[in-house]
Structure 1
Amino acid sequence: MERRLRDCDEFFRYPELGHLPAQRRLSALAELRETGTYRQTAEEILIGAKLAWRNHARCVGRKHWRSLKLLDARQVTSADELAGVCWEHLRLATNGGAIQSMVTVGPQRVPGRREFRIVSTQLIRYAGYRNGDGTVTGDPANIAATEQAQALGWRGERTPFDVLPVLISAPDAEVRYFEVPRELVREVDLAHPDYPWFGSLGLKWHALPAVSNMDLDIGGITYPFAPFNGWYVGTEIGARNLSDTDRYNMLPLIADMMGLDTSSVRTLWRDKALIELNHAVLHSFRAAGVHLVDHHTVAKQFCDHAEREAAAGRRCPTDWSWINPPTSSGLTPTFHRYYDEPDLDVRPNFVKRADA
Structure 2
Amino acid sequence: MVHSTKTNNLLVEATQFIQNCYDELGMSNEKQLERIEDIKNEIDTTGTYTHKSFELTHGAKMAWRNSNRCIGRLLWNTLHIFDARDVRTAEDAYEKLIEHIDFATNEGRIQSTITIFAPRNNGVDPIRIWNHQLLRYAGYEEADNVIGDSASIEVTKMCEEMGWRGAKTPFDILPLVIQETGKQPKLFEIPGEIIKEVPIIHPELDGVSQLNAKWYAVPIISNMRLEIGGIDYPMAPFNGWYMGTEIGARNLADPDRYNLLPKIAEIMGLDTKSNRSLWIDKALVELNIAILHSYQQAQVTLVDHHTAAKQFKIFEENELKSGRAVTGNWAWLIPPLSPASTHIYHKPYNNEISTPNYFYQGDPRED
* TM-score interval, smaller chain: over 0.9
Q: Following the alignment from structure 2 to structure 1, what is the Cα–Cα distance between the partners of residues 140 and 233?
A: 32
- Superposition deviation, residue 112 in structure 1: 4.4
Q: Following the alignment from structure 2 to structure 1, what is the Cα–Cα distance between the partners of residues 281 and 123?
A: 52
Q: Does 1:213 align with 2:223?
A: yes
- Superposition deviation, residue 172 in structure 1: 4.0
Correspondence 1:344-355 to 2 at 5 A: 344=353, 346-355=354-363
2:264 maps to which of 239, 251, 254? 254
2:142 maps to which of 131, 134, 147? 131
1:227 maps to which of 229, 237, 242? 237
- Superposition deviation, residue 169 in structure 1: 1.4
Retained in 2: the 8 A contact 1:9–1:29?
no
Q: Following the alignment from structure 1 to structure 2, what is the Cα–Cα distance between the partners of residues 64 and 156?
A: 37
Moved over 3 A (4+): none
Q: Does 1:36 align with 2:55?
A: no
Q: Following the alignment from structure 1 to structure 2, what is the Cα–Cα distance between the partners of residues 178 and 350?
A: 25
Aligned residues: 353
Correspondence 1:1-356 to 2 at 5 A: 1=6, 2-14=8-20, 15-19=23-27, 21-22=31-32, 23-132=34-143, 134-339=144-349, 341-344=350-353, 346-355=354-363
Q: Following the alignment from structure 2 to structure 1, what is the Cα–Cα distance between the partners of residues 132 and 363?
A: 12
- Superposition deviation, residue 352 in structure 1: 1.0
Q: Which amino acid aligns with 1:350?
A: Y
Retained in 1: the 8 A contact 2:67–2:358?
yes
Q: Following the alignment from structure 2 to structure 1, what is the Cα–Cα distance between the partners of residues 106 and 201?
A: 23
Q: Following the alignment from structure 1 to structure 2, what is the Cα–Cα distance between the partners of residues 114 and 263?
A: 53
Q: Following the alignment from structure 1 to structure 2, what is the Cα–Cα distance between the partners of residues 194 and 114?
A: 51
Q: Which amino acid aligns with 1:146?
A: T
- Superposition deviation, residue 218 in structure 1: 0.7
Q: Following the alignment from structure 1 to structure 2, what is the Cα–Cα distance between the partners of residues 316 and 183?
A: 41
TM-score (norm 2): 0.94
- Superposition deviation, residue 25 in structure 1: 2.0
Q: Which amino acid aligns with 1:126?
A: Y
Q: Which amino acid aligns with 1:342?
A: N
Retained in 2: the 8 A contact 1:317–1:342?
yes
Further displaced range: 114-123 or 239-248:
114-123
Q: Following the alignment from structure 2 to structure 1, what is the Cα–Cα distance between the partners of residues 270 and 154?
A: 35
Q: Following the alignment from structure 2 to structure 1, what is the Cα–Cα distance between the partners of residues 284 and 108?
A: 25
The alignment partner of 1:217 has SS state of strand
Q: Which amino acid aligns with 1:117?
A: R
Further displaced range: 17-26 or 55-64:
17-26
Q: Which amino acid aligns with 2:252?
A: L
Deviations 1:320-344 (A, max 9, x none): 01111001001112111122x2223
Retained in 2: the 8 A contact 1:62–1:302?
yes
Relative distance call for 1:316 and 1:354 in structure 2 (3 A) is farther
The alignment partner of 1:136 has SS state of strand
- The percent of aligned pairs where both chains have the same amino acid is 46
Retained in 1: the 8 A contact 2:116–2:237?
yes
Q: Following the alignment from structure 2 to structure 1, what is the Cα–Cα distance between the partners of residues 164 and 272?
A: 40
Deviations 1:207-226 (A, max 9, x none): 00000001111112111110
- Superposition deviation, residue 33 in structure 1: 3.4
Structure 1 gaps of 5+ residues are none
The alignment partner of 2:185 has SS state of strand
